[in-house]
Amino acid sequence: MTRLSTVTKPSHALSLFDTLSRLSFIQAAKLLGPEGRRLITEGGKHEIDVATQVDFDRERFRLEVDSAIGLYPGFPKGNWHG
């Protein structure tokens, strides 16, 4: 019988996608600032093609919607998961 196991990466080895995918709604809203809840709710109205409109790595996140470009330079050092 084959036994499957999963490997959990340490937090410093997570990609930006890994990190963002683990956020709850409240954590994501907090990360976006005072208007975070509204931004997330209204952001759901836009269709995003990740392959052509999104560029990201561990250090930054860039999103292009219509003629606007949003750039998030990265996450602060330390534990912001709370």
The answer to whether position 81 is within a domain reads: no
The answer to whether position 3 is within a domain reads: no
Could you report the per-residue pLDDT of 12-69, keeping only the tens digit for each? Answer: 777 777 777 888 999 988 888 888 899 889 888 888 888 899 888 767 888 888 888 8
pLDDT score for 1: 64
The answer to whether position 80 is within a domain reads: no
The answer to whether position 8 is within a domain reads: no
pLDDT score for 80: 47
User: What is the value of pTM for the model shown?
Assistant: 0.52
Instruction: Tell me which residue range forms the domain holding 40.
Output: 14-72
The answer to whether position 9 is within a domain reads: no
19: tokens are: 């990190």
Total domain count for the chain? Answer: 1
C-alpha to C-alpha distance for 50 and 34, rounded to whole angstroms:
26
The answer to whether position 20 is within a domain reads: yes
The answer to whether position 5 is within a domain reads: no
- 56: Cβ–Cβ under 8 A, 6 or more apart, which residues? 16, 17, 62
